[in-house]
Structure 1
Amino acid sequence: MGAKYGVFVFLLLIHVNCEIYTSIQKLTALAEMESKLFVDFENFLRQSEAQGAVIPESMTRFYHERKNDTLLDNCSNMANPIRAFYLIHRVYNDWGDVLNTISSNQTIATQPSVADFRALYRLAMTKLRFWPVRNDVDGSADNILRLWSTYGFDTTDILNGKIASISTRRMKSVEIEALSNTAGLIPLPYYQLILLCELSNRTHDETERDRYRRKISKIYYWTITKKIPILRAPTLAYTDIPKLSQHNKVLRKASKTTISQEDINELLEPPSVFEKLCRGPLKTKKEESLMRCFLRETAVPFYLAKEEVVNIEPRVSLFHDVISDHDITYLKREATKKLSQSLTSDGVNRIRVSQTGWIRDSAHPRISRRLSKRIANIVNLDTTYRNRASPVEEWQVLSYTTGGHYGEHIDPVHTEELLWEMTEKKQKHLPLPNRYQGQRIATWMFYLSDVDSGGATVFPKLKVRVPVVKRAAAFWYNISPNGEIDHRMVHGGCPVIIGSKWVCNKWIRQSGQVLKRLCGQTYESEDLYPEKYMP
């Protein structure tokens, strides 16, 4: 096991980054490095055989397995989540075992070719500047489990390395076990049990099979008993015969020695509205028939915005062709220099799996002014970044790799105040641009890429689904005209199935919008739009 935590002490001297599974750029770089390293390993084996060395069976097996992977699949294409998991699992586990075997096996450890290969291995790590750790293995496995549960993919397809009609090789037992362990950590008992059953069916060792059966029974018991609140205080049941009967019935069910597929299927939770929307639209044909597309007038008389209304009340719009490829390239290039793992209010959390990069408006004033002015012209809000009480935040660029997502949330920050509630005591510790900004009144989100599959933005309470459309932008208000946070605007980003997704947020604050967006005449008032822009 020591090899898996760093083959050499040298690993401690390089920059170890546990965010590889969230970055398509790092995954691709790791895949390219590993392919070159395998060529070096192949040359090392050839030289060792020429010198009459006896190659350990474990190294020969690894060589043939990795060679078959190369013949069957494009190992460097990281747009597939299962392939990305294979890569991280292999580099973290198998390559560590190879180096450990080379160092400990006396038949080859003293050969000159060993020192050469170890030097090439160290050089590869030095150039890469990051290396997979345990968190990356669990994270890439979690990405597969998230896609599996969110989109309801077929179990057989997943185990055979197929996802969204894209195939790779069949999963090995050791990879299924890693997936099962991650499912137990989350926990996702249904998926953990399904994977353990597959492992039990694959093995021909009766002792190993019995071990899996005992583990399945233990997890099943824990899952069933945990779901019944009455078991947390079983003494209460003895004062009530019906409750006692229910208590005993549950215990009998949980204590079954043979767990069938039907028993496991009962643990599968029905999909949430969020998950249903990720799988496809939920609006009825009648509701969809009310949606419209308009050429909407803007502050510039000769510029008409292409607005697609995806929800009427509260209004959610998708504006098409509002950013050029040149500006997209700039935003992605500048953000890539600053990307780091995305955070929530609780820090790093599996509810949000992506990379974030902030770009200052002053970094490229001409492009920032152009994009900000375009937003202002379309939605009639102040979007000019200022050094004091700025009505907008800086540009936030997000990169989602395969499996990346953002769970259900609202954009207003719960620790921040509404404009009219602000006090000097709470504002004085903030940077000048962030003082007296108020809440995030609205969200403008550019789509900087297309996505091969998945990645839609969904609003569960509205049953709204916004697809990813490159060069388009989604817009909605987070604050009602009455000044309160609109909790109907809970939304999330569905997991990316194949490919990668790039978006850029421009959050518009309350400061500067007093005469731009007027209050409603009543507490229940909604935003008013000209009749010609209503269904």
Structure 2
Amino acid sequence: MRAVLLVCLLAGLAHADLFTAIADLQHMLGAEKDVTTIIDQYIEAERARLDDLRRYAHEYVHRNAHAESVGPEFVTNPINAYLLIKRLTTEWKKVENIMLNNKASTFLKNITDNRVRSEVKFPGEEDLSGAATALLRLQDTYSLDTLDLSNGIIGGEKVSNKLSGHDTFEVGRSAYNQKDYYHCLMWMQVALVKIENENPPTIEEWEILEYLAYSLYQQGNVRRALSLTKRLAKIAPNHPRAKGNVKWYEDMLQGKDMVGDLPPIVNKRVEYDGIVERDAYEALCRGEIPPVEPKWKNKLRCYLKRDKPFLKLAPIKVEILRFDPLAVLFKNVIHDSEIEVIKELASPKLKRATVQNSKTGELEHATYRISKSAWLKGDLDPVIDRVNRRIEDFTNLNQATSEELQVANYGLGGHYDPHFDFARKEEKNAFKTLNTGNRIATVLFYMSQPERGGATVFNHLGTAVFPSKNDALFWYNLRRDGEGDLRTRHAACPVLLGVKWVSNKWIHEKGQEFTRPCGLEEEVQENFIGDLSPYANDP
């Protein structure tokens, strides 16, 4: 009965999706402090606690003190966030097993009650898997070395504590569970290196070898898989699968290539996500931006937008980022005080971001979009209404048919893979319920500035825009004739370090008949915001 009660208590603490928003992780930081306090009380009350349990208590104290000294920014580092989630999942289970040997239910209930009172969510297995996957995504996108990353080094800079052999193993096992043998192989190799310098090792060698051998086999390294499996059979003679796997690999080789030096390891990255521009997208995320074409280079400029009565008194700074198609950055168009109000309004409403199914038109979760978002109505607060009116001033587009302001907070390795904001012709059910036509344009407010990563990139255009707080990126999704502009396919790069808050305003085509009329030539397009020229011409 006590075991059933314990399981129910812990199940009530676990929440998935914490990894999809840094805001939730920051709120979770105090969870370790609760664990420390309860364990200390438990030890004093029982006076006979195991030394192992006391060791866990001291570790929690040390780690929580470090996290508190850093502050909320602690979890903006992906490695710190991964370790935090790991400590509150797998390591907490070890504490649970020790405490089950005595009257622990009362103290565990105290933890539950504290969580309920403080409204702190507790991570689940999905969060641990999501945190590990985020590290792998960041590793690929930003070409990070596995050993460096496991040692807390990003871009040559020490940014966090090292991962232990067991920490590293768990990242590799997460990749294995997703049949991602490319990453599993790399992380299991590093796990072996880690335990060579650990005394005692945090994970047994034989546990690593089985995963590593199978990943080598899957990546086409059969001889190396056989070699490691023979070692596995030697150091763990009672392993249930080792001897059978040795024979399986030997039969596969059929006596060929059985002698001589082992061949070099082959470990080719294979993506099954259907994103054909993956390499170009990741290069842009790293800031590897192709040079601007000479014909445009001298024409890119900044100017003051004064084309409305109010703007003659308070002009808006505009930076033209590119032509054909036009993309601009409106400078300092949202104030810090407004940002704080918007974040405060959005935080309680944040839910895991969804995407629209191209066939059904229904909203659903997707692994290629990791963030949480909330929708804010214009009449919710005067700040939202003021921002909406400001959008009309700087875009010259009617806001009557725009969608509500969407606020997003990106999670661990938070990203949104290449996509279109507008609905393509085959997506017949998109925006059907709104009855406002397609998305003619996008406004993207940057409400924070990550330390590294988080750029908005246009894959086919070779354009990357890194977040600059208080500014708003703007582009047209549709051409002047109403056809979708396929060149506007874009993505949100993973956040490497720091936190990313943005808000979107998707403007629809209904009501724009006079604010953005069709041109008299097929190729006509804007050279500046509010350009209503009916003919195609150079800037």
Give the structure-1-normalised TM-score. Answer: 0.79
Match of 2:463 in 1: 464
Asked whether the equivalents of residues 75 and 83 of structure 1 are also in contact (C-alpha less than 8 Å), the reply is: no
CA distance in 2, matches of 1:66, 1:126: 21
CA distance in 1, matches of 2:138, 2:5: 30
What one-letter code is carried by the residue in structure 1 that aligns with 2:370?
Answer: V
Match of 2:525 in 1: 526
Asked whether the equivalents of residues 458 and 491 of structure 1 are also in contact (C-alpha less than 8 Å), the reply is: yes
Note the C-alpha offset of 1:68. 4.7
CA distance in 2, matches of 1:150, 1:355: 21
1:8 counterpart SS class: helix
Q: Are positions 1:395 and 2:405 aligned together?
A: yes
Q: 1:376 aligns with which of 381, 392, 397?
A: 392
**Where does 1:116-131 land on structure 2 (aligned, <5 Å)?**
117-127=107-117, 128=119, 130-131=121-122
CA distance in 1, matches of 2:262, 2:371: 38
Q: Are positions 1:317 and 2:328 aligned together?
A: yes
Q: Which runs of 4+ in 1 moved over 6 A?
A: 255-261, 268-271, 415-418
Note the C-alpha offset of 1:54. 5.1
1:201 counterpart SS class: helix
The Cα offsets for residues 448-491 of structure 1, whole Å up to 9 and x where unpaired, read as: 12222211111011111111111110000111122211110011
Q: Are positions 1:343 and 2:350 aligned together?
A: no
- Number of aligned positions between the proteins: 475
Residues 267 and 145 of structure 1, relative CA distance in 2, 3 Å threshold: closer
2:522 counterpart SS class: coil
Q: 1:140 aligns with which of 131, 134, 137?
A: 131
Q: 2:303 aligns with which of 294, 307, 313?
A: 294
Q: 2:17 aligns with which of 12, 16, 19?
A: 19
Asked whether the equivalents of residues 454 and 500 of structure 2 are also in contact (C-alpha less than 8 Å), the reply is: yes
Residues 142 and 215 of structure 1, relative CA distance in 2, 3 Å threshold: closer
Match of 2:237 in 1: none
1:322 counterpart SS class: coil
Structure 1 residue runs without a partner (length 5+): 226-250, 385-390, 419-425
CA distance in 1, matches of 2:443, 2:268: 42
CA distance in 2, matches of 1:415, 1:522: 22
Note the C-alpha offset of 1:499. 1.7
**Where does 1:217-366 land on structure 2 (aligned, <5 Å)?**
217-224=213-220, 262-264=264-266, 266-267=268-269, 272-284=279-291, 290-300=299-309, 301-346=312-357, 347-364=364-381, 366=382
CA distance in 2, matches of 1:37, 1:95: 9
Note the C-alpha offset of 1:409. 0.6
Q: CA RMSD in A?
A: 3.4
Asked whether the equivalents of residues 22 and 400 of structure 1 are also in contact (C-alpha less than 8 Å), the reply is: yes
CA distance in 2, matches of 1:260, 1:198: 19
Match of 1:404 in 2: 414
What one-letter code is carried by the residue in structure 1 that aligns with 2:415?
Answer: H
Asked whether the equivalents of residues 23 and 409 of structure 2 are also in contact (C-alpha less than 8 Å), the reply is: no
The Cα offsets for residues 328-371 of structure 1, whole Å up to 9 and x where unpaired, read as: 2221111112110011235222200001100111223x434432
Residues 55 and 185 of structure 1, relative CA distance in 2, 3 Å threshold: closer
CA distance in 1, matches of 2:450, 2:173: 30
Q: 1:216 aligns with which of 212, 215, 219?
A: 212
CA distance in 1, matches of 2:5, 2:148: 33
The more displaced of 181-190 and 29-38 is 181-190
2:123 counterpart SS class: coil
2:482 counterpart SS class: coil
CA distance in 2, matches of 1:166, 1:82: 11
Residues 260 and 514 of structure 1, relative CA distance in 2, 3 Å threshold: farther
CA distance in 2, matches of 1:528, 1:291: 10
Structure 2 residue runs without a partner (length 5+): 222-251, 272-276, 358-363
CA distance in 2, matches of 1:210, 1:44: 35
2:319 counterpart SS class: strand
Residues 209 and 337 of structure 1, relative CA distance in 2, 3 Å threshold: closer
Asked whether the equivalents of residues 309 and 317 of structure 1 are also in contact (C-alpha less than 8 Å), the reply is: yes
The more displaced of 294-303 and 509-518 is 294-303
The Cα offsets for residues 399-458 of structure 1, whole Å up to 9 and x where unpaired, read as: 11341111111101348879xxxxxxx79x965xx12x0000100111112222211111
CA distance in 2, matches of 1:443, 1:45: 57
CA distance in 1, matches of 2:261, 2:345: 54
Match of 1:509 in 2: 508
Match of 1:247 in 2: none
CA distance in 1, matches of 2:308, 2:70: 51
Residues 314 and 213 of structure 1, relative CA distance in 2, 3 Å threshold: same
1:461 counterpart SS class: coil
Residues 498 and 534 of structure 1, relative CA distance in 2, 3 Å threshold: farther
Match of 1:171 in 2: 163
Match of 2:229 in 1: none
What one-letter code is carried by the residue in structure 2 that aligns with 1:189?
Answer: Y
Match of 2:247 in 1: none
Residues 266 and 22 of structure 1, relative CA distance in 2, 3 Å threshold: closer
CA distance in 2, matches of 1:47, 1:163: 44
Asked whether the equivalents of residues 326 and 527 of structure 2 are also in contact (C-alpha less than 8 Å), the reply is: no
Residues 482 and 131 of structure 1, relative CA distance in 2, 3 Å threshold: same
Match of 1:37 in 2: 35
1:121 counterpart SS class: helix
1:153 counterpart SS class: coil
2:367 counterpart SS class: coil
Q: 1:191 aligns with which of 183, 186, 197?
A: 183
Match of 1:89 in 2: 86
CA distance in 2, matches of 1:463, 1:6: 57
Note the C-alpha offset of 1:22. 1.6
1:317 counterpart SS class: strand
1:356 counterpart SS class: strand
What one-letter code is carried by the residue in structure 2 that aligns with 1:291?
Answer: L
Residues 38 and 494 of structure 1, relative CA distance in 2, 3 Å threshold: same
CA distance in 1, matches of 2:261, 2:423: 46
Residues 212 and 274 of structure 1, relative CA distance in 2, 3 Å threshold: same
The more displaced of 78-87 and 372-381 is 372-381
Match of 1:69 in 2: 63
CA distance in 2, matches of 1:217, 1:325: 53
Asked whether the equivalents of residues 150 and 278 of structure 1 are also in contact (C-alpha less than 8 Å), the reply is: yes
CA distance in 1, matches of 2:356, 2:205: 43
Note the C-alpha offset of 1:524. 3.0
Asked whether the equivalents of residues 373 and 407 of structure 2 are also in contact (C-alpha less than 8 Å), the reply is: yes
